[in-house]
Structure 1
Amino acid sequence: MACKVHKSLSLRRRLHILRFLTNSKNNKLKVALENVKRKYENLIATKRDYISLLNNNIDDNKDVKIVKISEGTFMVRVTCEKGGGKLVAILEAFEEISMNVEEAKVSCENEFSMEAIIVTEDQTLDVTDVTEVILKAIEK
């Protein structure tokens, strides 16, 4: 009889130890799962913020590059959002500062882009002057 009592006590201890170990592992798994969920939610929030920043910066996407080829001759590259009569505004701005377009390529597929060679009668114009004129024309 003592042997049965001893076996049942031993079995209970083992069962108690197993329950303790099982619960502790489950708790560790639960904590690990909560950490993964928290990191996932943070990544989703970061992605959402990043996409919102990208969408806000699309409106400010203006790229104007001007290279002086020779005295009074410039290579102009303009890229910005399409719409709003950008080409007309840029050509009018060129006329205001007495610049003539020798050659131009214009595209409005995904965005407005223009490459042009322009010649000015005013030899004092600099790259910064032409850049300012084009940026003002784009903003109209």
Structure 2
Amino acid sequence: ICQNGGKVLIQREYSYPVDDILYQFPGGKIEEGETPEQAAQRELAEESNISAKDFQQIGWFYADNRRTNAKLYVVCARGVFRDNYSYQPDETEFISSGWLEINKLEQMISNGQIVNYSMLASWALFKTAPME
């Protein structure tokens, strides 16, 4: 979760299985040898050309405990700045990114506009995690 003051960075991405555009936080696969924080830094740069000074893991949850033991790690990024990373979006992904006021995000959750379980679980961890 990339936070900049009272805003967070969200993405809209087309989801093929549900044939709809869903909201999500930037993220992706942890490559071999990476920590969750390193993966978050790389994915944030790849997907949005943004970086941050501080990356802190705030929790994790199982992706789908009935089918896999894969974990999804939640990392908070703060101290945001533009990166010089050469932004090359994946051609199979339709992504648009933007900053959203935290109170607007919470309204969207309450109104049922946010239905992605990983975003909802990540937000719950963010809201309850002690920040260093």
TM-score (norm 1): 0.26
More strand by share: 2
| Higher Cα Rg, which structure | 1
Relative contact order, CA 8 A, sep 6+: which one is greater? 2
Larger proportion of helix: 1
TM-score by length of 2: 0.27
